[in-house]
Amino acid sequence: MSVIVEEEAVIKEKVIPSKAIGIDLGVKDLVITSDYEKYDNNKIFAKYEKKLKRLQRELARREKGGKNYNKTKLKIAKLHEKIKNTRKHYLNKIANKIVLENDIIVTENLKVKEMSKNKRLAKYILDASFSKLCSLLEWKSKLQGKFYYKIDTYYPSSQICSYCGQQDASLKDLSIREYKCQSCGRELDRDINASINILFEGLKLRYQN
Ligand SMILES: [Zn+2]
């Protein structure tokens, strides 16, 4: 049984911002921040995916409409529900922490279309997680009087050196984990570098317009 609780939304007055954060969204790590923090793409989902595949194979073997068929079908529905709840809990935890600790929060605008081509469950969960997390950040920021910005989808956050600002347009290989600047020589984790650039771009949106 589920109980729907109507939350009274109390929107706090806007804060005077003193702490800002940029957030890069990724595959291996779901969230990478300009504070050098990473939140992994919950391994639980890989476990669930395996279990789901096993159940789907089981369902295929059952006689359609039979007692066992319906039993397996119910198990699959319950598992989907469990995945949904686990994901919801995890994303809320991340969003709460980020909004509590920061006043200005910046993410990319999602490249969901590009990412949704792959129909695998893990991929689907990931896409859904990105958009869910962004809407949580937006909503919680609003409630807490914080500021949430989304930067342009085509901003090349992975190609720019967050230290000297030089752009290296030849950088396209996503398997290279380290950003090495050809101009100033600085080396930094690729995703952390991207999240710092996202932060700077978000601050431009706020202060240059
Ligand atoms: Zn550089």
Cα three-residue angle 15-21-27, rounded to 5 degrees = 140
- Average pLDDT rounded to a whole number, residues 8-22: 93
Q: Give me the residue spans of the domains in the chain.
A: 20-42+102-207
Question: Residues 24, 103, 127, 201: which is the catalytic one?
Answer: 24
Strand stretches in the chain, DSSP E:
20-25, 29-33, 38-40, 104-108, 147-151, 178-180, 187-189
pLDDT tens readout for residues 54-73: 999 999 999 998 999 999 99
CA distances from 117 to 122, 124, 132 (A): 12, 9, 18
pLDDT at residue 137, rounded to an integer: 97
If you average pLDDT over each of 47-51, 115-119, 121-125, which comes out highest?
A: 47-51
Cβ-based neighbours of 67, under 8 Å, separated by 6 or more: none
Model confidence at 118: pLDDT above 80: no
Question: Residues 103, 108, 127, 138: which is the catalytic one?
Answer: 108
Q: Is 103 a catalytic residue?
A: no
- Average pLDDT rounded to a whole number, residues 24-37: 91
Assign residue 145 a region (left: φ > 0; alpha: ψ between -120 and 50; beta: otherwise). left
How far apart CA 86 and CA 82 sit, in angstroms, is 6
* Residue 113 binned pLDDT confidence (cut-offs 50, 70, 90): very low
Residue in the block written with tokens 């090495």: 180
pLDDT at residue 119, rounded to an integer: 57
What is the chain's mean pLDDT, rounded?
88
pLDDT tens readout for residues 163-199: 999 998 887 776 788 999 999 999 999 999 999 999 9
Ligand 1 centroid from CA 190, angstroms? 13
Q: Is 24 a catalytic residue?
A: yes
Ligand 1 centroid from CA 58, angstroms? 54
pLDDT at residue 117, rounded to an integer: 52
pLDDT at residue 2, rounded to an integer: 54
How far apart CA 137 and CA 92 sit, in angstroms, is 9
- Residue with the bigger pLDDT between 10 and 71: it is 71
Looking at 9-13, 75-79, 101-105, 181-185, which range is the least confident one? Answer: 9-13
Ligand 1 centroid from CA 68, angstroms? 62
Model confidence at 21: pLDDT above 80: yes
pLDDT at residue 133, rounded to an integer: 94
Q: Is 29 a catalytic residue?
A: no
pLDDT tens readout for residues 139-171: 999 999 999 999 988 889 999 999 999 998 887
Ligand 1 centroid from CA 18, angstroms? 26
- Average pLDDT rounded to a whole number, residues 102-122: 71
